[in-house]
Chains A and B, each alone.
Chain A
Amino acid sequence: MALGGGKRTGAGAGAAGAVSLPKGGSHMNTQNSILPVRQDILAVAREQVLDRGEALTQAQVLQVLRIPDERLPDLLALAHEVRLAWCGPEIEVEGIVSLKTGGCPEDCHFCSQSGQFSSPVRSAWLDIPQLVEAARQTRATGATEFCIVAAVRGPDARLMSQLRDGVKAIHDAVDIQVAASLGILSQEQAAELADMGVHRYNHNLEAARSYFPMVVTTHSWEERWNTCLRVRDAGLELCCGGLVGMGETVAQRAELAAQLGALEPHEVPLNFLNPRPGTPFGKLPVMAAQDALRTIAAFRLALPRTILRYAGGRELTLGDLGTRDGLLGGINAVIVGNYLTTLGRDPREDLALLDGLQMPIKALNATL
């Protein structure tokens, strides 16, 4: 796997950091004690993740997720150092579009496109010229990735055929890499996507295995996991992330991070629940910004070499200031422009922010 080649760039290197003991408590080692020392988790992470590139374990991620607010700036700074050291300074920019909106037979409780809820979202399809125009809009931002998404359980022959035509039309007209997200795949479909020129496939775990039944009942976590394996087996880059803020515990967030780490995806999109009217999660509160930032940093420490992308919900959860903090706290990829059914920030604002932070945008020729 790949990004950054597993080689430190030098940025933020060194500084193993003094190991500090927690203040007081039963874990405190004493002069004559043989009790194990419970080191400060940030000191451990500095040595383990920053210096050696070894991901935090699930238990360690949980410790990070429980760090108090006053230590959040230190956590974000460390996660940023890890990102720079193991991924480099570049930011990957992507645009997404919904090829087929609404009417999905699945019941993902966060999603306004399920046909099982009384969401105001109606079914719609984009045609090929609209798809190419959307790719052009995306490329105009400097993005190198364009992901075509369909709200389906899995693709049928008609959708695969339309995607084949769409990918060809985009490649003929726009200099951009094409990714896809079409739900559950067979091995043959994964191979077909690779053959038609799709280079990356998104299929999120969405939630930790232990919480998944509270989020989706029409398919299993294992079906998602197996699709991810098929994607990798077909030679496609795997994009696999999830949502946080759906009522899961912090332990389940740590579990999700560990399960994603076991999959070793090329990219992890991190979504924050944007409660959609009419869905079962429509009345859940928006996640607190500090919890979202803690999650970003914890995921970076669990996935030191992976592309960690801001996906849906960041505008609502983090706002402008939080967006900046996340970019300085482990994030190294963004979705610019609009989302599938909601609107994003003006890409010019995001690009200006990246410029101000002196974060170069990954060039297309660097991805080929």
Chain B
Amino acid sequence: MTVASYCGYCGRPRAEGTHDGCARRLELEPPRYCAGCQRRMVVQVTPGRWTARCVEHGETSVATWGGG
């Protein structure tokens, strides 16, 4: 399991500053940065799902509603 060291929204270390605003933004968008290594991920959004792929840490795929 990947340790969430980095913010998926802004890519900065989670230990630096607050990321409350980032968390709110992540309710309406997928993460763009890998939480484990800070790399920008290749993200694909479809009507009912998002998929994010990190070259180091692999793929995460999340259904955003029941139809996904």
What is the interface of chain A, defined by CB distance below 8 A to chain B? 95-98, 101, 120-124, 126, 130, 133-134, 137-138, 140-141, 277, 315-316, 336-344, 346-348
Contact indicator per residue, chain B 10-51, by CB within 8 Å of chain A (1) or not (0): 110000000000000001111011000000111111111110
Q: What are 11 A-B contacts defined by CB distance under 8 Å? A: A120-B40, A124-B43, A133-B46, A134-B47, A336-B47, A341-B43, A343-B29, A343-B45, A344-B28, A346-B65, A347-B48
In the complex, number of A-B residue pairs with CB atoms less than 8 Å apart = 83
- Of the candidates A133, A336, A341, A346, which one forms a contact with B29 in the assembled complex, judged by CB atoms under 8 Å apart? A341
A348 CA to B65 CA, complexed, in Å: 8
B-chain residues with CB within 8 Å of residue A122 when the two chains form the complex? 40-43
The residue of chain A having its C-beta at the shortest distance from the C-beta of B33 within the complex is A120
B68 within 8 A of A: yes
Q: In angstroms, how far is the closest chain A Cβ from the Cβ of B44?
A: 5
A344 to chain B: closest CB distance in Å?
Answer: 8
Indicate which residue in B32, B45, B46, B48 contacts A120 across the interface (CB closer than 8 Å): B32
Task: Please tell me if the beta carbons of A338 and B50 are within 8 angstroms of each other in the complex.
Answer: yes
Given contacts A137-B49, A140-B67, A337-B48, whether A124 and B42 have CB atoms under 8 Å apart is yes
Provide the residues of chain B in CB contact with A96, threshold 8 Å: 47
Q: Note all chain A residues with C-beta closer than 8 A to B28.
A: 315-316, 342-344
Q: From B8, which residue of chain A is reached at the shortest CB distance?
A: A120
Chain A residues within an 8 Å CB radius of B10: 277
Interface SS of B by simple majority: loop
- Assess the B45–A341 pair: CB atoms within 8 A: yes
Rounded to whole angstroms, the CA-CA distance of A337 and B63 in the bound complex is 11
A337 touches B65 (CB 8 A): yes
B3 to chain A, nearest CB (A): 21
| B66: Cβ under 8 A from any A Cβ | yes
Measured between alpha carbons, how far is A126 from B43 in the docked complex, in Å? 11
Residues of B close to A315: CB separation below 8 A: 28
If the complex has contacts A137-B49, A316-B28, are A343 and B44 also in contact, measured as CB distance less than 8 A? no
- Residues on A with C-beta less than 8 A from B66 are 348
A59 and B53 alpha carbons, distance in the complex (Å): 50
Pick from B32, B42, B46, B64: contact of A130, CB below 8 A. B46
- Report the minimal beta-carbon distance from B65 to chain A, rounded to whole angstroms: 4
- Closest Cβ of chain B: how far from A318's Cβ, in Å? 13
Which residue of B33, B40, B47 contacts A138 across the interface (Cβ within 8 Å)? B47
- Is B32 a contact of A343 with CB atoms below 8 Å? no
**In the assembled complex, how far is the CB of residue B56 from the closest CB belonging to chain A, in whole angstroms?**
14
A335 CB to nearest chain B CB (Å): 9
Is the pair A346, B64 in contact by a Cβ cutoff of 8 Å?
A: yes
Q: Which residues of B contact A124 (CB under 8 A)?
A: 42-44
B47 to chain A, nearest CB (A): 3
Chain A residues lying within 8 Å of B45, measured Cβ to Cβ, are 97-98, 101, 338-343
Report yes or no: A337 in contact with B44, Cβ–Cβ below 8 A: no
Nearest 6 Cβ contacts at the A-B interface: A337-B47, A120-B32, A137-B48, A140-B67, A134-B46, A95-B47
Q: B44–A338 contact, CB under 8 A?
A: no
| Complex CA distance for A47 and B36, rounded to whole angstroms | 62
Q: Once the chains are docked, how many angstroms separate the CA of A176 from the CA of B37?
A: 41
A120 cross-chain contacts in B, Cβ below 8 A: 11, 32-33, 40
Once bound together, how far apart are the Cα atoms of A337 and B45, in whole Å? Answer: 10
B32 contacts which chain A residues (CB < 8 A)?
Answer: 120-121
Taking the nearest CB of chain B, how far is it from the CB of A271, in angstroms?
14
User: Which residues on the A side are within 8 Å of B44 (C-beta)?
Assistant: 98, 101, 124, 126, 130
Do A141 and B46 contact each other (CB < 8 Å), given the known contacts A121-B32, A122-B40, A316-B28? Answer: no
Q: How far is the CA of A130 from the CA of B50 in the complex (A)?
A: 12
Residue among B10, B45, B64 with the most chain A CB within 10 A?
B45
- Residue of A137, A316, A341 near B47 (CB, 8 A) is A137
6 extra interface residue pairs, beta carbon distance < 8 Å, beyond A337-B64, A343-B27:
A137-B46, A137-B68, A338-B47, A338-B50, A339-B45, A341-B29
User: B43: which of A121, A130, A316 is its contact (CB, 8 Å)?
Assistant: A121
